[in-house]
A and B are shown apart, each in its own frame.
Chain A
Amino acid sequence: MSSALSTRIGGQSRLSPAPAGSPLQRKVPMSVSRLAWYGLCTLLALTMLTPLLWMISIALKTNSDIISLPPQFLPSSFTWRNFVDGPREVHFYRLLGNTFIIAIVSTFGAVASSMLAGYAIARIDFKGNRFLFYLFTFSIFVPGIVTLIPIQRLFFDANAIDTWYPLILPSFFGNPLFIFLARQFFLSVPRSIDDSAMIDGAGHWRIFTHLMLPLTKPLWMTMIILAFQASWNDFLNPLVYLNSPSKYTLSLGMASFMGGLNSGASPEYNYYMASNLLFMIPPLLLFFFAQRYFMMGLGALGMTGK
């Protein structure tokens, strides 16, 4: 169900003709209603973009611009140096490195472990298959906050507070939602493929690595994007587990720098916003280069729950 729907979202959406406008359009000349539509959409789009444009303007303002009252929308002069000084002040590149390492390792762990589990549950007949299915479906519905305190105690007892282990390790033990997606996808691959490979003497590992991985590219690309995004955006876990600023991720580091600005004497919002713009760029690039998989993942999430 989800894949049928989501390919529709991502693909060149076979649009059904506008239902709402048609009776109107017969009376009013086509161009007028279309013009009104463009006008409305442009107005709304500008409203959505205004906060971002304002952020770019702040990022380019001088130190005296940002404390002048009343505030001006445009900077008095473009201070490109903010994109050098800002990240240095925020320790942006250290945070960026930390975040990249954590995101890449935990993405790999989540995708690999979930693919294997999904394959086993969908395509191997064995005792306990059904039980495993119920086991992970059940864990999808448990809110994170209920398990957070005991898990935090586990890592505390293991002396892993203020390390990256709590942010990385759990992802190597399968993500219930990803397993669900993987199972659905694997179920849709024809059985005859494995049967003929098995006659040729291939085992499950060979079938998984040589046949299934190439066939399921849309599946694991979607998972990679979802996992990377989740790790990149995670705030609560770094907040709970990390204490030393040198280990902070971007979300935690940026939020704590912003928190300090409010009480600070010189509000360096121009530095902050320049860094914030850089913080937004990796997910934006990911979105533009992998838009198809992005939309598929969104459809899958919308269908199965977050």
Chain B
Amino acid sequence: MASTGWLTFRRRNTITAYVFALPMIVGVCIFTIYPLVSSLYHAFTEWSGVSAAKWVGLANFRYLLTQDPTFWPSLKVTVYYMALSVPAGMIAGLALAVLLNRAFAGIRLFRTVFYLPVVLPSIAVLTLWKYIFDPSYGLANEILSDLHLPTSQWLAGSATAMPSIVIVGLWGVGGSMIIFLAALQNVPSELYEAARVDGAGAIRLFRSITLPMMTPILLLQLVLGLSAAFQTFNQVQVLTKGGPGTSTNLYMFKIYTDAFGNYTQLGLASAEAWILFIIVLAITAVTLRTSRMWVFEGNER
């Protein structure tokens, strides 16, 4: 201490703190702030990545909104995917959580089994499902024909490809199940006891106590789910490459193809990425804004 006596305690603290946080400060600058500024600038340029970027003003945005043959279809497909996958995942997760919110013997085994697919690597899961959906050799049609039901083209049919991708996502329902289960266990049991004394039935209990008490976590899962759905990539890259036609050309996949595909358009892709950023922010803001109408705010915290 004596040797550093010329430094006040406070100043020494400040230096230590900045040394500790230095990697993070450098990291935020290089990997967040600089890329944000750079990509915002390049959104207004034409840039192949080989020659220098050329300022073109709003041309990229104008092209996307009015001429690009894949921009609007891709947004439409993404909204369709969100509308299918987010509610399905939340309802299935909540149903499983309610089912498993018991104290029966073997409950841990069941929870583990339902959670298992979540632990597996995404690519291992997707490649497995790609073969499951194979029209001639896959398990999906094998089961359908064993049940004497009409078989399907699954990923190869333009109407069935997207629902098939949603089914793969539902296999990972254990993730939201675990989160809902935790929330269910946080509901005070006095509430149920009081309602039961008043003669409330099972359905009434669920509607009037469980659901309202769960709304904060439902809201959070909804916001996270919508944002994740908008950034879905692996599924399309492994399962369909956007096809058949443009039936699964999710917006994130379109950005990837424009940025790193055969025909590199980094300026255009930057503009698309910023549109995604703004849409995700808007979805989050709107969901949070409207949440006051249906989210129960207890006085527990």
- Interfacial residues, chain A to chain B (CB-CB below 8 A): 1, 5-6, 8-9, 13-24, 34, 37-38, 40-41, 44-45, 48-52, 54-55, 58, 66-67, 69-71, 73, 113-114, 116-117, 119-121, 124-129, 132, 135-136, 138-139, 141-154, 170, 172-174, 176, 179, 201, 203-205, 208, 232-233, 235-236, 239-240, 250-252, 254-255, 258-259, 267, 269, 272-273, 276, 279-280, 283-284, 286-287, 294-295, 298-299, 302-303, 305-306
With A233-B121, A276-B128 in contact, do A139 and B269 touch (Cβ < 8 Å)? Answer: no
With an 8 A cutoff between CB atoms, is B185 at the interface?
A: yes
Q: Which B residues are CB-close (under 8 A) to A71? A: 136-139, 142
Q: Which B residues are CB-close (under 8 A) to A306? A: 224, 228
With an 8 A cutoff between CB atoms, is B52 at the interface?
A: no
Chain A to chain B contacts (Cβ below 8 Å), 17 pairs: A16-B192, A17-B103, A44-B114, A51-B128, A71-B137, A120-B16, A135-B28, A141-B281, A235-B233, A236-B234, A250-B121, A254-B123, A267-B137, A269-B131, A272-B131, A302-B220, A306-B228
CB distance from A168 to the nearest CB of B (A): 13
Q: Which A residues are CB-close (under 8 A) to B294? A: none
* Cα–Cα, bound, A54→B34 (Å): 48
With A153-B49, A204-B16 in contact, do A174 and B27 touch (Cβ < 8 Å)? Answer: yes
Q: 8 tightest A-B contacts by CB?
A: A173-B27, A174-B24, A147-B35, A120-B20, A150-B35, A117-B24, A150-B38, A126-B14
CB distance from A3 to the nearest CB of B (A): 12
Identify the stretch in B63-71, B79-87, B175-183 within 8 Å (CB) of chain A at 4 or more residues.
B175-183
* Cα–Cα, bound, A22→B106 (Å): 19
With A24-B202, A113-B23, A147-B36 in contact, do A41 and B171 touch (Cβ < 8 Å)? Answer: no
Q: Are B139 and A251 in contact (CB under 8 A)?
A: no
Identity of the chain A residue whose Cβ is nearest the Cβ of B129 in the assembled complex: A51
CB distance from A223 to the nearest CB of B (A): 14
Q: Are A254 and B139 in contact (CB under 8 A)?
A: no
B16-29 vs A, CB cutoff 8 Å, 1 = contact: the mask equals: 11101101111110
Identity of the chain B residue whose Cβ is nearest the Cβ of A40 in the assembled complex: B99
* Cα–Cα, bound, A200→B181 (Å): 46
* Cα–Cα, bound, A69→B145 (Å): 13
With A45-B110, A54-B139, A124-B20 in contact, do A254 and B127 touch (Cβ < 8 Å)? Answer: yes
Q: Are A302 and B221 in contact (CB under 8 A)?
A: yes
B165-187 vs A, CB cutoff 8 Å, 1 = contact: the mask equals: 00000010001001101110111
Q: Are B23 and A272 in contact (CB under 8 A)?
A: no
* Cα–Cα, bound, A38→B137 (Å): 33
The contact of A15 among B185, B206, B217, B220, by CB within 8 Å, is B185
Q: Are A298 and B99 in contact (CB under 8 A)?
A: no
Q: Are B23 and A172 in contact (CB under 8 A)?
A: yes
With an 8 A cutoff between CB atoms, is B237 at the interface?
A: yes
* Cα–Cα, bound, A269→B209 (Å): 50
Q: Are A149 and B273 in contact (CB under 8 A)?
A: yes
Q: Are B124 and A280 in contact (CB under 8 A)?
A: yes
* Cα–Cα, bound, A135→B32 (Å): 10
Q: Are B277 and A284 in contact (CB under 8 A)?
A: no
For chain B, what secondary structure do more than half of its interface residues adopt (helix, strand, loop), or is it mixed? helix
Q: Which B residues are CB-close (under 8 A) to A302? A: 179, 182, 217, 220-221, 224
With an 8 A cutoff between CB atoms, is B88 at the interface?
A: no
With an 8 A cutoff between CB atoms, is B296 at the interface?
A: no
CB distance from B269 to the nearest CB of A (A): 6
* Other A-B pairs, 4, CB within 8 Å; known A139-B32, A284-B120: A45-B110, A120-B17, A173-B28, A302-B220
With A146-B276, A146-B277, A306-B228 in contact, do A174 and B130 touch (Cβ < 8 Å)? Answer: no
CB distance from B31 to the nearest CB of A (A): 5
Q: Are A150 and B102 in contact (CB under 8 A)?
A: no
The CB with the most chain B CB atoms within 10 A, among A8, A125, A173, is that of A173
* Cα–Cα, bound, A203→B132 (Å): 59
Q: Which A residues are CB-close (under 8 A) to B276? A: 143, 145-146
The contact of A149 among B26, B123, B266, by CB within 8 Å, is B266
CB distance from A251 to the nearest CB of B (A): 4
* Cα–Cα, bound, A255→B178 (Å): 29
The CB with the most chain B CB atoms within 10 A, among A9, A151, A302, is that of A302
Q: Are A116 and B23 in contact (CB under 8 A)?
A: yes
B187-212 vs A, CB cutoff 8 Å, 1 = contact: the mask equals: 10100100010000110011001100
* Cα–Cα, bound, A115→B293 (Å): 39
The contact of A19 among B122, B205, B273, by CB within 8 Å, is B205
With A14-B185, A15-B185, A172-B23 in contact, do A146 and B36 touch (Cβ < 8 Å)? Answer: yes
Q: Which B residues are CB-close (under 8 A) to A58? A: 131
Q: Are A23 and B121 in contact (CB under 8 A)?
A: no
Q: Which A residues are CB-close (under 8 A) to B281? A: 141
Q: Are A142 and B113 in contact (CB under 8 A)?
A: no
Q: Which A residues are CB-close (under 8 A) to B10? A: 125-126
With an 8 A cutoff between CB atoms, is B39 at the interface?
A: yes
Q: Are B120 and A19 in contact (CB under 8 A)?
A: no
Q: Which B residues are CB-close (under 8 A) to A127? A: 14
With A1-B301, A127-B14, A276-B124 in contact, do A149 and B185 touch (Cβ < 8 Å)? Answer: no
With an 8 A cutoff between CB atoms, is B116 at the interface?
A: yes
* Cα–Cα, bound, A18→B228 (Å): 32
* Cα–Cα, bound, A120→B31 (Å): 20
| Chain B, range 64-108, C-beta contacts under 8 Å to A | 96, 98-104, 106
Q: Which A residues are CB-close (under 8 A) to B35? A: 146-151, 154
Identity of the chain A residue whose Cβ is nearest the Cβ of B96 in the assembled complex: A44
Q: Are A9 and B182 in contact (CB under 8 A)?
A: yes
The contact of A236 among B114, B127, B189, B233, by CB within 8 Å, is B233
